[in-house]
Amino acid sequence: MERTTVRPGPRTAVVWQVLRRELDRAPEGGLTILDVGGGTGGFAVPLAEAGHRVTVVDASPDALAALNRRAVEAGVAPRVRAVQGDGDALTGLVSPGSVDLVLCHAVLEVVDDPRGVVAAITAALRPGGAASVLVASRAAAVLARATGGHLAAAAALLADPDGRTGPRDLLRRRYDADGAADLLRGAGLEVEDIHGVRVVADLVPAAAADEDPRTLLDLELAAAARSPYRDIAAQLHLLARRPADPV
Ligand SMILES: C[S@@+](CC[C@H](N)C(=O)[O-])C[C@H]1O[C@@H](n2cnc3c(N)ncnc32)[C@H](O)[C@@H]1O
């Protein structure tokens, strides 16, 4: 099995590092991967390039059209299936218990029914399969609003049960690590790892990031699993697994 040739930047390096452990265990022929809300294929296309079969289920026909173009340009169209659909209604789109790895990145904060989506991805996974879940962090959003001078928005976000600034907030909710882990456990998944993603990547001046990208990337990777840095990252990444069937 080919290793992924992706050279991720500091904004996604932590996610790829966690995924690589799953990908490196892939059998000959690759993994069956489902990317729920996979959009234009930022993960799906590199995964297909590494030899895996990827189904992207997304609500947006425009995103899926861009995904298809990208897959053709990369020469991996036969390994990428684009399906328009809802993340909480996967039955009929994906065979239950058939998927080795589910990606659900930056989706739970925008859907109507995050519990429904998590239940659906759990049902799609084979026993022993893994879910890579990336969600927006409430703590980072509070600090970003406050350091930007938007104190009322920061206070609202801190107080709101869903971590929103108000009805005009573009996100439906934000998470802390415990809340995100509870959501996954509630569907029967076992949470194995939680990392912070973009601990400092959004904070460093652009000139410093351009001048020394390697050090920035190493800093992201070093801080990702450590408290308190993990908890102030812009996003939280959870790797969770559907328990294997008892023998
Ligand atoms: C913020 S984008 C994330 C895209 C990609 N996962 C990433 O990390 O770059 C959210 C994606 O979720 C899709 N989406 C929103 N609601 C959805 C739903 N109920 N079911 C499936 N996809 C949905 C959107 O069309 C969009 O492509």
58 three-state secondary structure: strand
From the CA of 150, how far away is ligand 1's center (Å)? 27
- The overall average pLDDT reported for the chain is 95
- Residue 245 pLDDT > 90: no
Give the list of residues 6+ apart from residue 91 with CB closer than 8 angstroms, or none: 120, 123
Categorize the per-residue pLDDT at 3 as very low, low, confident or very high, splitting at 50, 70 and 90: low
The matching CATH number, chosen from 1.10.10.410, 3.40.50.1220, 2.40.50.140, 3.40.50.150, for 13-137+175-241 is: 3.40.50.150
- Residue 4 pLDDT > 90: no
Domain boundaries, the chain: 13-137+175-241, 138-172
The alpha carbon of 102 is separated from its chain's Cα centroid by a whole number of angstroms, namely 9
From the CA of 85, how far away is ligand 1's center (Å)? 11
**Residues flanking ligand 1, CB < 6 Å:** 37-39, 42, 57-60, 63, 86-87, 105-107, 110-111
pLDDT at 66: 98
- Residue 1 pLDDT > 60: no
**Rounded Cα distance, 247 and 226, in Å:** 36
- pTM for this predicted structure: 0.95
Categorize the per-residue pLDDT at 7 as very low, low, confident or very high, splitting at 50, 70 and 90: confident
> What's the pLDDT tens digit per position in 149-171?
999 999 999 999 999 999 999 99
pLDDT at 178: 97
**Pick from 243, 247, 246: which is nearest to 97 by CA?**
243
- Residue 198 pLDDT > 80: yes
